[in-house]
Structure 1
Amino acid sequence: MNSKWKKFNRKLSVVLSTSLIASMFSMQLLASAEVTSSSVTSFKDVEQSYAKTEITKLIEKGILSGFADGTFKPSDSVTRAQLAKIMVGALQLKPDSTVASSFKDVEQSKWYAGYVSALVQSGVAQGTSKDTFSPDKKVTREELAVFFVRAFGWETKNAPTQTTKPQLADMDKVSDWAKDSVSLAYQSGFIKGIVQKDGTTTFNPTGVADRQALARLAYEFVMNKSTYEQFMIPAKTEEGTDNSNPTKPETTKPSENSNKGNSSNNSSTGDNGNNNNTGGNNGGGQQTSSKNLTSPGTYTLGNVTGNVTIGSQGVILKDTKINGNLQVLESVANGDVTLDHVTVTGTTSIKGGGPNSIHALNSVLATVIVDKADGSVRLVLEGASDVQQIEIKSGAIVKNDSTGDVGPIELTDSIPHNAAVVLNGTFDSIMVHAEQISVEFGDNSSIGNLEVFQQALNTVFKINQGATVNRAILDAIVQFSGAGALTSAQVNVEGSDFSGLQQHPRIEADPTVTSLVYLPEIIDLSAVNATKQIVLTGVTGSANKDVTSLASWEVENNGIVTVNNSGKIQAVANGTTVVKAKYGEYQIQVPVTVAVYNELTHPRLEGVQVTNGSAKLTFTNGLDVSELTAEDFVVHAYYNGQERELSNLQYHNGEFTFSPIDSYGSTLYITVDSNTDKTQFAGSQSASVKLTGFGGRIKDVAGAPVANLQISFRKGLDNKTGEIVGTVTTDTYGKYYINMQPGIYTGELGGGDTKYIRTYLIGVSAVNVNNQNENQTAIEIPAANETRFVLTWGKDPADLDSHLIGPAGDGGVFHTYYADKRYYYDDELMVDLDLDDTTSYGPETTTIRQLLPGTYTFYVHHYSGTSTIKMSGAKIDVFHGAVPTPSATYTVEEGSGNELYWNVLKMIVAEDGTVTYETVNQFTNVNPLHTLTPESSSQETNEAGE
């Protein structure tokens, strides 16, 4: 245990900058601005709080405050903004809004701006990213413990290893990164825990912290700090001097551009790449300035006061301490680099290296950022290497063979779609923000906590043989497979797929849920195969939560009714029984009666299809639905745990219509039943629709709206052949909106008997945001005398550019691209770039209006964005004449390499007009314009990189 205490202080800063911040539950809180009150008597809701005394004292000191409605809300959850205010008061810091201006979600006019800024400046906390603070996010109990231990500014290496006080009974539920802090805080008496009936004490670590708990800890920190000094000693600096400042800044992440230019930042006495075994004149403990290692060899630099760049493969850097940043540059390509007994106090940035790649042996690294454009890089940690945190921004392999300590690994949202990340070894904490990627845990790997954030839609996790993921927290719909094991999962959104695992994980309940309510409370069914929905709601301290599909359902007698995984009951035969649901520690029982009404002769309601605005009905026995009226039905709707009256509900010819619910993210359940007389039909049917989806606008290349165009959607990214799961038609303005379950969808438009080429769009349906800019351009089929090149690609890079070079009317050549879109000859348009897309996917279209004999060359330029052309999925379709299908297609072959240009094809037009195609498929960093047309050097373009 002593070794763990010794590691604590070194790990703590990264715990705060990653785990403390990024692991907070992503649930929205409607927070009100706090107002100061000088007396607790003005707060009408603190009399019964266990922290009444502490609240009173801290209000008197001006550290705590309440709300404008005269309440303190002791049981409400704590937001990051509220925490910032209280911690600034407890640390006696002065509010200052200067730093807060760097956070786009902290407006200067907000009440908390000065507190956020002061806390960030103190080094006690950082933003959730370089430009966001997330002031409305909730804080968990284990995070509070870590936060206050950090605020004390003391090391835990001398914490008691033995004590007469029993350990917390639920320590196994504490996140690995928080265990040391929670244990120390409890053993010292700083946190009290919750005494259970059996005499044990629990902590509920993942429960959302409430305001009274924060008040008690803040009181102890302010009023009784000396009480806990016997358990903690002041941290020492590396030189052994005392550093008891509680606001000592933690290691911070560099800004996006902080390392630009380092490759040229060399002093006149710096290393010039000499290949020797002693590292030239730099060795031992000498202080040296920034270095640029540009040749293979073994280098020993001693103490470096600036930055070091490695620009060549075959570099072995030994026995060096870098008091700055280390960069492994793109020029290392697919070569190897070894760090042997190297310490880097700043950021280690890996942009080069191959499949055997970067080795860190007995080294100490603060923040490691892996960002190789094509993803073909492997980082191996060996010996007793320590790494505080790893950020992965591209595909990568990370192997941990080290006996040292490896902090949290963050898979950032900048990782390109369909990239692969492989993690081999033991890792305490993995945090995933990346969307639509593949994450593989290698054979016999051990993962502590896996946190999947809202934006990580459709990410796929493979757990290999012998590998174990101890616990997953899922705030996005993802998929698991493999022969390994996922022990438990807290599923905060419905829809994740565990079917690919040999054994399903134990599903944990949301710890903020304190009870269950359900509707309806009694079920009666009047026909075989009739259905009714039970809606199960978890009661929380703030907004209630629909847990219908997250609960486990069963029925006492499935010969009478059955129940599916989403709480829908279906009648089988006459009788009575009980349906049960369990969610966490809570369970319900619902009595059910089936009494079939004139089964052989009476019409039955057989089905209902629900959208946000309609419910279409189907019946048996040829019932004339036109004779039915609204009085023949009973309609119940449930939304957000309550029965909801549907506005403007009308019935006509087998369909109910109603005003769409203007809300987003929850499920609308509708049950249609026969009236009590059952004079027209018997039975009932239930259906639901998740009020998530996306929309956008379809326009043509001229920007005009495309009306009445059908779009068919398939589940998944770039899925062009699977089952169609939804269709929608654009309105008069070219707009569409479709309700879809959370996920990524591929929409197909055009083709068939339309006048448009078949193209595709990508739509993302998420639980936390309503995407309404999933736009696309409809490309018309060319005229008989035209040829059209259509470039499409994936999410990354954001901007690929189309270039076409060909014969000009004056005997020279033309070059069309984004900066010179049209070529005219004798005032006649000959060639034009109809559309230049700069926001992923395409299409970009280049059209030859008048063909001239000669050779046309089409190439692609990686203009901006992450990833590479080879990993982009780029495709060029060539349409020659008035045809709906391409005459030729060229698709990039996936591979390594980050070249800027892809020279794709040549189209050769003979004197008689015959067209032939020649595949080029060359990748280069030299603009093909200059190699194909040397004389064009006098016509310098404005294109970046040329």
Structure 2
Amino acid sequence: MGLRLLHKKVSSLLVFAMIVSILSSHYVFAAKEPGVSLNDISKSYAKDEITELVNKGIISGFGDGTFKPAESVTRAQLAKILVLSMNLEQDAAEAAAFKDVSAGKWFAGYVGALVKAGITQGTSSTTFSPDKTVSREELAVFFIRAFGWETDAKSLKLDESLSDMAKVSAWAKPAVSFAYQLGFIKGVASKEGSFRFNPAGIADRQALARLAYEFIVHKETYAAKALLLLPDNAGDEETEEPKVKDDPGFNGGPIGSTDGDKGEGNTGGNNGNGNGNGGNGGGETPVSNTITAPGEYSLGDVTGNVTISSRDVVLKNTTINGNLSLLGGIGDGDVTLDHVTVTGETKVFGGGANSIHVADSILATVIVNKADGSIRLVLENGTNVEQIQLQSGAILETTGSVGRIGPVDITESVPQNAAITFNGSFDSVMVRAEQVAVTLASGSSIGDLNVFARALNASFHLAEGSTVSRLIADAIVTFAGQGTIQSAQVNVEGVDFSGLAGKPVIVADPTVISTTYTPQEFTLSAVGATYQIVFTGIKSDGSRDLTSFAAWSSSDLSVAQVVYGNVTAVGDGMTYINANYGDFQIQVPVTVSVYKPGESYPTIGSIRVTNGAIDVAFNGDVTDETLSDFTVSATVNGAAYELANLQYSEGRFTFDPVDSYGSTLYVTVEANADKTKFAGSQSGSIRLTGFGGHIKNVSGSPVAGLKITFRKGFNTTQGDIAGEATTDARGNYFIYLPPGIYTGELGGEGTDYITTYLIAVSAANVKNEAENQTAIGIPNALETRIVLTWGNDPRDLDSHLLGPKFDGGKFHTWYAGKSYMHEGELIVDLDLDDTTSYGPETTTIRKDVNGTYTFYVHHYSGLSTLRMSGARIEVYRGAVTEPTQVYTVPEGAGNEIYWVVFDMTIAENGEVQFREINQLTSTDPLYN
């Protein structure tokens, strides 16, 4: 169980113990099963993080199988972990100036990498002190530098809520304060409820593992938090002039001693070259630069990181040998990069609909991540960019004079329903995100558009005059608009081109070396009868079903017509059915010879195929039919397949399900050769894909016999039903449905459960059996149940309820304090806490207490915003199956992390009043 889940499952005593642990974290996922065995981490509060980082090769244990989580960390060890966490290349030559870091030492390359990246300049000009232990305040400083926020931290007012902030060294206070405000570090709780930091305490290996994990996995989450802390108008005062590199105060002074038992170091003077005079002078010279005010800047050559946190900034004639970060302090303002070179990453967290302009610049990697997606990036005038990674919605624009723009990667972390617009010319676009809306603006073009398998349910709108030269589609997606796709290699069934003005030319799979088909010929015995031709491509490593990809035609439409190989009889005669796939062609002779023409003789009207059953309907009255009156044929993977244990009774065939996940089962049911009771034939098919899962109640017990109704699409709660499944005695279900996203509805009228929904994915190549859900029971007549649901991202929203106690005061139920008890009786509880997207998460008031209750939601983890989460609150007051009150989160731009939803007041006479609040804030309502 991951630490995040552990936080939510342990008793309140253990939760308290974990809160007071060193540098605890809010953002942790369940760890993978360890690839190595460490025999001494089972009791470590950072067990899951240690396991994850060992699996990633970031940290390692000792030769005896131990990790020694409580052992102190040396500066050499910290250097290694930071370099691996930042994915830097080792460079021992850069550490040559340190007399205590010889080239042959195992840590020399790591120390040099930190020097090169601007993270450290040693404890003096000639020493690094590799064996010196690292204090807690040093650990905070190093990670804030790794984020690139050291100067930002100095621009903020100190957070004095830590009781021992006065004991933090002067050089470390800004970093400790900023890290604490971010939630990146936590204090140690005292008995009276205050928190202290213990800055001079020695950091241990488990603390380092936890922070390294947070830095690697949740870096962008902390970046989003940082945006909220940095003032949008930083540096706007008329009395403060913008600082440029030539200003001697731009970099500040060196940091003083980090040796806690030898006195505090003093911040260096304004000349940027002071040595510090505290303790033993073991200072670390800061090298990250922050622009905090509007203006035009020219920094020349910079070794280290640069941050822009103000709107209306022009950065010119600058080379940054490090990273450039455009922070949220830019707000919805503008930043221009003119003749700027960035060798590291250019991270775009801020900017508005007007944009970030980049002209005549060279950027290695551009990462765009503004949570609400309201950002425009314009590349122009000879700019060259090696690659662009989108982690949020955005508008990307190029001008005709732009240079080379490398591949644009719409990453998996882009939230569902995010909007992305391309305006201009782009060589390569890769789409990995699920259910995003991509627009190609009028007159724009994409050379290669690659849609990867994870991009299920993505939609593409091609405006008039836009062009995609080459498409490779490995996911079921939709295309619409007046634009053009010139050629497409479609590797999955179900890609929808129907919304386009013209269908693209389908390019054959180049790995197909020959083809086969079945049947070779056949006869149809009734008008309206159907028969399926299956067209298969032979590859060196197997086969591929070409039936839905080939171009089909009939030489005589008055005899028979064909759609995707399914032939329908029109009238007596003979025709040829033709299929083309690349250079491969087939021709199948088909004869239509109507049995007893002119008579109202019964025929097979239709069939419905599932994996395990075939339902048959007749045109006309048919009685006493048996299995011997039919001929049933099946094809799987291009070859004839005998349905095992085939039986028939009253319009239904049953057979043993076919275990060939990802294939298509084609079935044809026809009258036998004698046709004594009916004539005709019908074909049907089912893609052997689907999903399953487990349904339990809030106490964790399986729910048996519960029907789940599935509709195609994300959050599709109305319309045609794609299929139904019923849980077995163990609460498990499985349903075969074509690849795609489905919404399952369970509970409601006639059941013991309120109506809830689950989102499930049917994948083409993976048998998904993890689409689980919790069935929420209908409350009893005296209860109130509050149900929170949301979308795929954020991953974790949390329910919080504040309300009156019997003996005065307020209770607070949340994941770390799930219940309120009075005299041994359960009054209120968070009976279900979901941590894996969608919900439901339920809070139940089991016994009324007169007074006012306030319900709010906390954005706990995930990349998207509350506003884009699709969060919905349903309140059930009493034994009802329909909600008494419904609230939906306000949409729009904004990164607030709390949603205050409603008040409910219970009067002494039992009357209940609801007051909708529906406000978003970044201030915890608990402290209002």
TM-score above 0.5, yes or no? yes
1:301 aligns with 2:299: yes
Instruction: Give 1:278 deviation, angstroms.
Output: 4.8
Contact 1:411 1:434 survives alignment (8 Å): yes
1:492 aligns with 2:378: no
Q: 1:363 aligns with which of 347, 351, 361?
A: 361
Residue range with higher mean Cα deviation, 906-915 or 860-869: 906-915
Partner residue in 2 for 1:850: 847
Contact 2:516 2:535 survives alignment (8 Å): yes
Distance 1:852 1:765 in 2: 46
Partner residue in 1 for 2:183: none
Partner residue in 1 for 2:472: 473
Instruction: Give 1:293 deviation, angstroms.
Output: 2.2
Identify if the C-alpha distance between structure 1 residues 834 and 283 changes in structure 2 by more than 3 Å, giving closer, same or farther: closer
Partner residue in 2 for 1:641: 638
Percent sequence identity over aligned pairs? 55
Instruction: Give 1:282 deviation, angstroms.
Output: 7.5
Opposite residue 275 of structure 1, the aligned amino acid is E
Distance 2:619 2:749 in 1: 35
Identify if the C-alpha distance between structure 1 residues 277 and 845 changes in structure 2 by more than 3 Å, giving closer, same or farther: closer
Opposite residue 797 of structure 1, the aligned amino acid is P
Identify if the C-alpha distance between structure 1 residues 684 and 259 changes in structure 2 by more than 3 Å, giving closer, same or farther: farther
Equivalent residue runs for 1:778-927 within 5 Å = 778-927=775-924
Equivalent residue runs for 1:389-788 within 5 Å = 389-401=387-399, 402-564=401-563, 566-599=564-597, 600=599, 602-624=601-623, 627-788=624-785
Contact 1:526 1:595 survives alignment (8 Å): yes
Instruction: Give 1:291 deviation, angstroms.
Output: 1.0
Contact 2:243 2:291 survives alignment (8 Å): no
Equivalent residue runs for 1:226-375 within 5 Å = 260-264=146-150, 275-276=241-242, 278-281=244-247, 289-375=287-373
Contact 1:275 1:298 survives alignment (8 Å): no
Opposite residue 379 of structure 2, the aligned amino acid is L
Residue range with higher mean Cα deviation, 311-320 or 504-513: 311-320
* Structure 1 unaligned blocks of 5 or more: 1-98, 105-128, 132-256, 932-946
Instruction: Give 1:385 deviation, angstroms.
Output: 1.0
Distance 2:906 2:816 in 1: 26
Distance 1:810 1:648 in 2: 68
Output one character per residue of 1:270-306: Cα deviation in whole Å (capped at 9) or x when no partner. 9x9763375543899x999321223333222111111
Give the secondary structure class of the aligned counterpart of 1:390: strand
Give the secondary structure class of the aligned counterpart of 2:777: coil
Contact 1:692 1:766 survives alignment (8 Å): yes
Output one character per residue of 1:12-63: Cα deviation in whole Å (capped at 9) or x when no partner. xxxxxxxxxxxxxxxxxxxxxxxxxxxxxxxxxxxxxxxxxxxxxxxxxxxx
Distance 1:904 1:675 in 2: 65
Give the secondary structure class of the aligned counterpart of 1:353: coil
Residue range with higher mean Cα deviation, 799-808 or 374-383: 374-383
Instruction: Give 1:331 deviation, angstroms.
Output: 3.4
Contact 2:242 2:292 survives alignment (8 Å): no
Partner residue in 2 for 1:934: none
Instruction: Give 1:421 deviation, angstroms.
Output: 0.5
Opposite residue 921 of structure 1, the aligned amino acid is N
Instruction: Give 1:884 deviation, angstroms.
Output: 1.2
Instruction: Give 1:309 deviation, angstroms.
Output: 1.7
Distance 2:359 2:806 in 1: 64
Give the secondary structure class of the aligned counterpart of 1:788: strand
Given the two structures, how large is their TM-score scaled by the length of structure 2?
0.71
Distance 2:516 2:774 in 1: 47
Contact 1:275 1:296 survives alignment (8 Å): no
Instruction: Give 1:103 deviation, angstroms.
Output: 8.7
Output one character per residue of 1:110-132: Cα deviation in whole Å (capped at 9) or x when no partner. xxxxxxxxxxxxxxxxxxx999x
Contact 2:524 2:593 survives alignment (8 Å): yes
* Number of residue pairs matched by the alignment: 679
Distance 1:473 1:544 in 2: 19
Give the secondary structure class of the aligned counterpart of 1:796: coil
Opposite residue 343 of structure 1, the aligned amino acid is T
Output one character per residue of 1:497-551: Cα deviation in whole Å (capped at 9) or x when no partner. 1111111111111111122210000111112211110000012221110010111
Give the secondary structure class of the aligned counterpart of 2:891: coil
Instruction: Give 1:336 deviation, angstroms.
Output: 2.2
Instruction: Give 1:744 deviation, angstroms.
Output: 0.7
Opposite residue 859 of structure 2, the aligned amino acid is H
Output one character per residue of 1:801-822: Cα deviation in whole Å (capped at 9) or x when no partner. 0000000111110000000001
Contact 1:858 1:905 survives alignment (8 Å): yes
Instruction: Give 1:333 deviation, angstroms.
Output: 3.0
Instruction: Give 1:313 deviation, angstroms.
Output: 2.4
* Structure 2 unaligned blocks of 5 or more: 1-52, 59-84, 88-142, 155-170, 175-233, 251-271, 274-285
Contact 1:282 1:300 survives alignment (8 Å): no
Instruction: Give 1:634 deviation, angstroms.
Output: 1.7
Give the secondary structure class of the aligned counterpart of 1:462: strand
Distance 2:848 2:365 in 1: 56
Instruction: Give 1:465 deviation, angstroms.
Output: 1.8
Distance 1:361 1:678 in 2: 77
Distance 2:537 2:145 in 1: 48
Contact 2:890 2:918 survives alignment (8 Å): no
Instruction: Give 1:848 deviation, angstroms.
Output: 0.4
Instruction: Give 1:775 deviation, angstroms.
Output: 1.0
Distance 1:930 1:773 in 2: 39
Residue range with higher mean Cα deviation, 842-851 or 678-687: 678-687
Given the two structures, how large is their TM-score scaled by the length of structure 1?
0.69
Distance 1:714 1:320 in 2: 55
Identify if the C-alpha distance between structure 1 residues 830 and 859 changes in structure 2 by more than 3 Å, giving closer, same or farther: same
Instruction: Give 1:427 deviation, angstroms.
Output: 0.2
Identify if the C-alpha distance between structure 1 residues 822 and 629 changes in structure 2 by more than 3 Å, giving closer, same or farther: same
Contact 1:793 1:873 survives alignment (8 Å): yes
Output one character per residue of 1:596-641: Cα deviation in whole Å (capped at 9) or x when no partner. 22242543222211111111112232111xx333222221111111
Distance 2:910 2:406 in 1: 65
Identify if the C-alpha distance between structure 1 residues 818 and 260 changes in structure 2 by more than 3 Å, giving closer, same or farther: farther
Contact 1:283 1:300 survives alignment (8 Å): no
Identify if the C-alpha distance between structure 1 residues 635 and 130 changes in structure 2 by more than 3 Å, giving closer, same or farther: farther
Contact 1:282 1:302 survives alignment (8 Å): no
Instruction: Give 1:883 deviation, angstroms.
Output: 1.3
Give the secondary structure class of the aligned counterpart of 2:722: strand
Give the secondary structure class of the aligned counterpart of 1:929: helix
Distance 1:641 1:313 in 2: 62
Distance 1:734 1:313 in 2: 55
* C-alpha RMSD of matched pairs (Å): 2.5
Give the secondary structure class of the aligned counterpart of 1:276: coil
Output one character per residue of 1:570-605: Cα deviation in whole Å (capped at 9) or x when no partner. 112211111111111111100001112224254322
Contact 2:345 2:367 survives alignment (8 Å): yes
Opposite residue 545 of structure 1, the aligned amino acid is R
Output one character per residue of 1:327-360: Cα deviation in whole Å (capped at 9) or x when no partner. 1223333232221211100111112222123221
Distance 2:838 2:541 in 1: 40
